[in-house]
Amino acid sequence: SLLLISSSDLISVYLSIELQSFGLYILCTLYRNSESSTSSGLTYFLLGGLSSCFILLGIGLIYANSGTTYLDSFYIITNLSNLIKDNNLNYMMYNDISTYIPYYLLLITVGFLFKISAAPFHFWSPDVYDGIPTIVTTFVAIMPKISILIILLHLVHFSNNISADYSWTSSLLVSSILSLIIGTVLGLTQFRIKRLFAYSTISHVGFLLLALSINSVESIQSFIFYLIQYSISNLNAFFILIAIGYTLYFYINKSIDHNNLLDKNNSPIQLINQLKGYFYINPILSISLAITLLSFAGIPPLVGFFAKLMVLSSALQNGFIFLALIGILTSVISAVYYLNVIKIMFFNNHSYVFSNKLFNLQIPAEIIKNKNDVESFYLKSNISLSNSLSVTISILTMFILLFMFMPNQWLDISNILSFILFTPYNII
């Protein structure tokens, strides 16, 4: 991911994407005794290879017609092409390059949209997210999206002066609309928690693509800030799922047939109903997950609200009123499935009972000595989480919750990064 973000050549971009993808393929199939994990990893590998073909084809066509793969060369070539057109000069080579580059960039963009699971190339992500272990889903859902979206940001900026009949960034707008609608509507029908998060991710990618396609200083600021808060919130959500799985190790939900759940050891929390009444078992983790979900929904004063507000404001400022309305409507509708998870956790009675594993353990001496009831002891203490996991969840939750008290630092970071991106080429 670091190599990809720092790449300034399309060849190094492609090699970095493949290096990153190979690592993710291996992680997805690492648990080879799990049928769901290996099948999901194979699906991810095959579709990832298909998307890489689109990227390589686009890069090859660009090199064949322009003789370069450097990103900054696009800026120079397209400026020369515009200069030739403005002065009615007859240099067919530069005219042809300026005409066809948007279509080649479209091929590369299709491959990138596959990688970040943006609609209409999203169909693989719900199945893959649901099948692979939760800890691996954390990497697949966050790392590739950060790096590839940054590369898309570079491509949009380096090619924003292309004067052609077709603007390839319009494909980002179409994908943004489809991602917002599909991620919201299909998310309403989900009953598996990781599939729900997959459609939630598609909806968030729609907001990111909306900010990216506008390509103004304000939209890039909102894009960078949204990407930061999305990464933090998504990371926190998956960490909490992992922690909940640890705390429910000695519990069985009477209302769910656990024998029908596949790969229970690697993904203990699979159904939304498994969270039923979890607040009465572990209030702290329940409140942390509720804060994260409310931030996903864009409820003020959490950080997700400010991120969506910035994206929608930049859309309105640049005349994208229809897209802003779609963003507002989908954000309101998506709150339904986030609030449904919260309702199940807080307002339903849990059906958990202790499994036989608990009574087959050697009971600690202090429990017997103090004549504590075994069930009440484990109900109160539960399974102790590692210090690193507890501290990480606490820090991420505090960032989401307390952003309104310290907004300047994070907004300054996004402002500085956007001005660094725009200033040198505005001077030229």
> pLDDT tens, 184-220?
999 999 989 999 999 999 999 999 999 998 888 888 8
8 A C-beta contact, residue 374 and residue 359: yes
Contact residues for 249 (Cβ-Cβ < 8 A; gap 6+): 268, 357, 383
Measured CA to CA, the distance from residue 108 to residue 102 in angstroms comes to 10
CA atoms in the 13 A half-sphere facing the CB of 92: 0
pLDDT > 70? residue 399: yes
Task: Give percent of the chain with pLDDT exceeding 70.
Answer: 79
259 vs 413: which has the higher pLDDT = 413
Of the pLDDT bands very low, low, confident and very high (cuts 50, 70, 90), residue 327 is very high
104-118, 143-157, 241-255, 330-344: which has the minimum mean pLDDT?
Answer: 241-255
Measured CA to CA, the distance from residue 28 to residue 139 in angstroms comes to 10
Element (H, E) at 112: helix 92-115
- Please tell me the pTM assigned to this model: 0.88
8 A C-beta contact, residue 353 and residue 208: no
pLDDT > 80? residue 84: no
Residue 251 pairs in a beta bridge with 354
Joined together, the tokens standing for residue 62 give 């660009």
- Which DSSP string corresponds to 281-314? T-HHHHHHHHHHHHHHHT-TTSHHHHHHHHHHHH
Angle between helices 92-115 and 35-66 (to 10 degrees): 170
Closest residue by Cα to residue 267 from 80, 136, 419: 136
Position 412 scores a pLDDT of 77
pLDDT > 50? residue 365: no
Measured CA to CA, the distance from residue 267 to residue 371 in angstroms comes to 35
Q: Which DSSP symbol is given to 187?
A: G
pLDDT > 60? residue 41: yes
Helix (H, G, I), strand (E, B) or coil at 24: helix
At residue 169, what are phi and psi to the nearest 5 degrees? -70, -15
Joined together, the tokens standing for residue 344 give 């199940």
pLDDT > 70? residue 90: no
Peptide bond into 120 cis (omega under 30): yes
Burial of 328-360, coded b for 16+ CB within 10 Å and e otherwise, reads eebbebbbebbebbbebbbebebebeeeeeeee
390 to each of 186, 240, 267, 288, 313, how far by Cα in Å?
32, 9, 19, 11, 36
Joined together, the tokens standing for residue 343 give 């309702």
* Amino acid (one-letter) located at 151: I
Position 82 scores a pLDDT of 57
Measured CA to CA, the distance from residue 423 to residue 426 in angstroms comes to 5
Contact residues for 324 (Cβ-Cβ < 8 A; gap 6+): 312, 315, 316
138 to each of 13, 43, 162, 217, 242, how far by Cα in Å?
23, 18, 37, 31, 10
Q: Which residue has the tokens 């656990």?
A: 258
Element (H, E) at 353: strand 352-354
87 vs 211: which has the higher pLDDT = 211
pLDDT > 80? residue 165: no
